[in-house]
Structure 1
Amino acid sequence: MYSIAFFFPDYPGAEVNQSRLIHNFWSAQIYTFYALGYYFAEKSINQQIEIAVRDKEIAEQKIAIAEKEAKIAKQELEIAILAKEKALAEMAFLRAQINPHFMYNTLNMIFERVRKASREAGDIVLAFAEMLRYATSTKSQEDEVGLSGELDFVKQYIELHMQRFHYKVYIDFEEDGDFTYHRIVPMVLITIVENGIKHGIFDDPEIAFRIRATLIDDEFVFIASNKKNPYPNAIADAGKTGIGIKNIKKRLLTTYPAEAHSLEIIDGEEDYTVIFTVNFNLLKK
């Protein structure tokens, strides 16, 4: 190896200059090292700052999205509340316009007059009066009503319909269980039955409209199955009516947990079946 001293003239003090040069060289290396370290440290810090700023922007965007979704949810809730209040107000207005007690008493008077001429006609008026009193009562506007009362309402409706067609239609209704101590969303069962009567055909015992209501181990099952009318255009008043079968699902979800009830619709080529189930045990939890 060659000594650095060979690069310098041989004169007094040359070794001192050589030592100083070496010192300066290593000092420069140290400064360079520190400069590189500072450069990379600053670069790393800037990168971390950029990442932090980007993460902050992303977090702010997520917060903004969440706030927007919360605002939309709040607006939807307010709309739903307003819709419910509107419906209740309309029902209250209807009851104010036509006092149900007045109508019921009037029908009772008609019943007394008509029954003298025709017992059958009198029974029809009486059945209709009972249905009207139940349908316009404040109970029907509650979130839940007695299950036995709802089933009685369904049976009255069926009897009235059969009398209307002089018992030339066939509706097979069976029930099994004690329905006295349970409550249910009002007007759901009658809507299911009304839908079957409106869109079904049951003028033959072989294709009767079959309705089953059972309560076993606190599980209520209501099944309505009918033969489809092959001539739907011939159905009177075939347009949209009331809350409808599809809207029942939304109504039930506002009262029951999803795991405690179900509304299954089996829409076959010739048959239409609705299966409504409520597990009262799950409602108690």
Structure 2
Amino acid sequence: MKIPSLLHRRRYSFGRVFWITLAIYLGFTFIGLIGMYVTPQANKAPNWDLVFSWPNLLSKVFSVFFFAFFYFVTLNMFYRLFAGKHRALQFVQPVVMSLLLMGAYYAFSFLCLDKLKYSISTAHPNLEEELTVGLMVFVFFVSSLVITGVSMLLAYFTYLRDERKQRKILEAQKMQLEVEKSQANFNFLKAQINPHFLHNTLNFLYAKSLPYSSELSEGILTLSDIMRYALGPAARDGKVMLKEEIEHVRNVIKINQLRFSNNLNVQFDVNGVVNGATIVPFVLITIVENAFKHGDLKDQDRPIVINLNIEDEAVTFFCRNKKKAGPKEISTGIGLDNIKKQLDLTYGRNYSLQVKDDTEFYTAELTITQL
């Protein structure tokens, strides 16, 4: 999916800006009318002839269309400047233009519309005498500055929100591409191996080894089950049955026990009902293999503890191992990074993977709240 650049897009449509401006204007007008009745000075009713006079209505309509146009232009202008990451000096010209535009509005509104409006009423017969020219200019300038500042802030916060959203989309796309690349590489490797040939070969070796060593034949049979699971097809959604993943974990533990003459201290417990639950393949086994690779497997007082709890649609997988003493194997972290990407794509926010690496123990806990 191609994402349009923030720099080359018109973020605000005139229709949307117009209706929002109209709603705000009507809201302030309604509040003003209410205020005329609730304030202590409200001893007399409003001059309705003035309120509903055609010059006053023309002034209101002109104001709504002007501010809709003003915000439409300035919001899109400031948005493009923020998206282009321009320097502060490059904002001077747009700000000055906005202030001049507001000045023209106030001049026209005061000199033309207000004069026309009050020419039919005695409410303010001498408007020029109530405010000095300097005070009027100051009020108009400050209000213009505030309105322009509001436009800049709205554009800036909208840009920040859009940039954050676009960054998340790009990260998700990048992650998707990496997973697809990994899956393509895995499928290529699988295609190089004929599963039936491999399975038949292992069965042949299993049959031949039976008269000589039950331990060897058991290892070959377990390896056959592991390879069948690893090379087998997944469902369309990329998931496998949870019970198959659990069985795969048991087989990996079993073949490692055979390697070390059943001297490994491993505790694996499954609690809850599995039923037809599914899960992303190789997620649990990657955590277990990491424990076998870096853990002290023969300490009888500190076993590798593996717990899987299933409750409704939630799964919690816990794995803790004592670290090996002496030189450590170099870990690239690729395995955990890959499963994090798979979990992100499949479960989104419905999972958490917490890894704790202290001086003596390594602990990983995976929680999936919605399988």
TM-score by length of 2: 0.58
Displacement after TM superposition at 1:200 (Å): 1.1
| Residue 50 (str. 1) matches residue 145 (str. 2) | yes
- 2: CA distance between counterparts of 1:116 and 1:32? 115
1:1-285 matched pairs, under 5 angstroms? 34=129, 37-139=132-234, 142-216=237-311, 219-233=314-328, 235=329, 238-240=330-332, 242-244=334-336, 248-256=339-347, 258=349, 260-279=350-369, 283=370
Say whether the 8 Å CA contact 1:134–1:140 is kept in structure 2: no
* Structure 1: tracts of 5 or more residues without a match: 1-29
Higher strand share: 1
SS at match of 1:133: helix
SS at match of 2:346: coil
Evaluate the alpha carbon distance shift between residue 70 and residue 276 of structure 1 in structure 2; reply closer, same or farther with a 3 A threshold.
Answer: closer
The range that moved more, 210-219 or 197-206, is: 210-219
> For residue 240 of structure 1, what is the amino acid of its counterpart?
T
The range that moved more, 199-208 or 249-258, is: 249-258
- 2: CA distance between counterparts of 1:178 and 1:84? 30
- 2: CA distance between counterparts of 1:196 and 1:84? 24
Say whether the 8 Å CA contact 1:209–1:224 is kept in structure 2: yes
SS at match of 1:273: strand
Provide the residue aligned with 1:9 in structure 2.
none
Displacement after TM superposition at 1:154 (Å): 0.3
SS at match of 2:347: coil
Provide the residue aligned with 2:92 in structure 1.
none
Displacement after TM superposition at 1:163 (Å): 0.6
Provide the residue aligned with 1:13 in structure 2.
none
Larger Rg: 1
- 2: CA distance between counterparts of 1:214 and 1:63? 44
- 1: CA distance between counterparts of 2:230 and 2:257? 19
SS at match of 1:139: coil
> For residue 273 of structure 1, what is the amino acid of its counterpart?
T
> For residue 218 of structure 2, what is the amino acid of its counterpart?
D
Say whether the 8 Å CA contact 1:142–1:186 is kept in structure 2: no
Evaluate the alpha carbon distance shift between residue 140 and residue 196 of structure 1 in structure 2; reply closer, same or farther with a 3 A threshold.
Answer: farther
SS at match of 1:229: coil
> Identity across aligned pairs (percent)?
28
The range that moved more, 32-41 or 75-84, is: 32-41
Evaluate the alpha carbon distance shift between residue 104 and residue 247 of structure 1 in structure 2; reply closer, same or farther with a 3 A threshold.
Answer: same
- 2: CA distance between counterparts of 1:55 and 1:241? 48
The range that moved more, 187-196 or 223-232, is: 223-232
> For residue 243 of structure 1, what is the amino acid of its counterpart?
G
Displacement after TM superposition at 1:147 (Å): 1.4
Evaluate the alpha carbon distance shift between residue 220 and residue 56 of structure 1 in structure 2; reply closer, same or farther with a 3 A threshold.
Answer: closer
**Cα RMSD (Å):** 3.1
Displacement after TM superposition at 1:93 (Å): 1.4
TM-score by length of 1: 0.73
- 2: CA distance between counterparts of 1:69 and 1:222? 32
> What is the aligned length?
247
The range that moved more, 220-229 or 123-132, is: 220-229
